[in-house]
Amino acid sequence: MLAKYNSWQFLLISIAAATFVIYPDITWLPFELRGLEETRKIQHIIFFLFRYLFFVSLVFILIKSNLTYLQSSSFKKRFIYNLLISAIGYIVYGGISFLLFTKVRHFGSFVLFQFFVVSILSSLMGYIIQLYSDKRKKEQQIEELTIKNLQSRYDALTNQINPHFFFNSLNGLTSLIRKKNDEITLTYVNKLSDVFRYILQSDKKGLVTLREELAFVDAFKYMMEVRFANKLTYHVDISDEVLDYRLPVLSILPLLDNIVVHNIIDSDHKMIVDIYFNDHNELVVSNPIYPKLVVPVSNGTGLKNLESRFILLLEKPIRVEDNGKTFTVYLPLK
């Protein structure tokens, strides 16, 4: 907001503010000049102009420092800062007045009061503008996070239900049909239906209970365990007491999907995914790291979008730990 103002505009503001502060002196000046000798009148006018220019300079310094350099949101600190500058200004003003205008009586309590008024006005102006600037910054942050949240919901539909996942699900179903295992095939179809239903309805939800999210995970992990046979298993250790905690919808899916996308899963690299609740009210998803020889194609926004949603909806960031052997993500709950 201040970028549109230059030094000349600050000067005009200072002139207007100084005029307001010494307005009583301006109205009283004609009465003070009556009865004075000609030389005294000239000296009185020069002293008046000196006072006026001194106030203009002081107001300019205070406004410039308050709006440009002083970023404190505490009115007390701002007022003490301005009062200190005004006190120094008062001392300088008094010294010049005493040395150059010894016969003019305008260095009393009223002048001190004017310096005090200048410090208060400057503090109020700086404080109000600082509050406005902080408010604008918060609004911009909320707007940015809202956009990211909308983008993450879009990504949940476009990235998570990607052709790769869709075709792998169909391939798993095809494999079961060929084996003619009707019971497992029927269960697989039901779980696949639950997964897609939950994903497609996610754009209508913000926060969901851990119970809902884990019900989705149960359907998803069944499909993955069928697909990878005994090479991929999930250990879920969540007590019933914490199932009513809430978190953003589709928080766990990108983590489970990333495990499959970024790791080798075969007989030599059996994947065990641990999902549990820790003492810090966090849901923990942890897995060993078996990096693929060829880096998979990924847009790299999954965790960033997930963190943006947590900051927006819970005002808490996620935590990620990667020690080279184990990859762990901590999701705060509400």
- The pTM of this model reads 0.52
Q: What pLDDT digit, counting tens, does each position of 124-165 carry?
A: 776 777 777 777 777 777 777 776 666 665 455 445 445 556
What does the pLDDT average to over 224-228?
A: 81
What does the pLDDT average to over 227-248?
A: 88
Amino acid 333: pLDDT? 92
Asked if pLDDT for residue 326 goes beyond 90, the answer is yes
CATH T-level topology, domain 159-332:
Heat Shock Protein 90 (3.30.565)
| Dihedral angle sign, alpha carbons of residues 174, 180, 182, 183 | negative
SS (H, E, C) the chain: CHHHCCHHHHHHHHHHHHHHHCHHHHHHHHHHHCCCCHHHHHHHHHHHHHHHHHHHHHHHHHHHHHHHHCCCCCHHHHHHHHHHHHHHHHHHHHHHHHHHCCCCCCCCHHHHHHHHHHHHHHHHHHHHHHHHHHHHHHHHHHHHHHHHHHHHHHHHHHCCCCHHHHHHHHHHHHHHHHHCCHHHHHHHHHHHHHHHHHHHCHHHCCEEEHHHHHHHHHHHHHHHHHHCHHHEEEEEECCHHHCCCEEECCCCHHHHHHHHHHECCECCECEEEEEEECCCCEEEEEEECCECCCCCCCCCCHHHHHHHHHHHHHCCCCEEEECCCEEEEEEECC
Asked if pLDDT for residue 327 goes beyond 80, the answer is yes
- Tokens 């000239």 belong to 42
What does the pLDDT average to over 293-304?
A: 67
Q: What pLDDT digit, counting tens, does each position of 176-194 carry?
A: 777 777 787 888 888 888 8
Q: What pLDDT digit, counting tens, does each position of 106-124 carry?
A: 556 667 777 777 777 777 7
Q: What pLDDT digit, counting tens, does each position of 245-286 carry?
A: 999 888 888 888 888 888 888 888 899 999 999 988 899 999
The number of residues in the chain equals 334
| Dihedral angle sign, alpha carbons of residues 121, 126, 131, 133 | positive
Q: Which residues pair with 212 in a beta bridge?
A: none
Asked if pLDDT for residue 39 goes beyond 50, the answer is yes
Asked if pLDDT for residue 288 goes beyond 90, the answer is yes
Residues 6+ positions from 251 with CB-CB distance below 8 Å: 213, 283, 306, 309, 310, 331
Chain CA centroid to CA 310, Å: 12
The band of 329, judged by pLDDT with boundaries at 50, 70 and 90, is: very high
Rounded CA-CA distance 70/309 in Å is 33
Amino acid 225: pLDDT? 81
For 17, other C-beta atoms within 10 Å of its C-beta total 21
The band of 173, judged by pLDDT with boundaries at 50, 70 and 90, is: confident
What does the pLDDT average to over 199-205?
A: 70
Asked if pLDDT for residue 328 goes beyond 70, the answer is yes
**The amino acid at 19:** T
High-pLDDT (> 70) share of the chain, %: 82
Amino acid 95: pLDDT? 78
In angstroms, what is the C-alpha Rg of the chain? 35
Rounded CA-CA distance 334/322 in Å is 25
For the chain, the domains span 2-139, 159-332
Asked if pLDDT for residue 297 goes beyond 70, the answer is no
The band of 320, judged by pLDDT with boundaries at 50, 70 and 90, is: very high
Q: Average pLDDT over the chain, rounded to whole?
A: 78
CB 232 within 8 A of CB 273: yes
Amino acid 157: pLDDT? 43
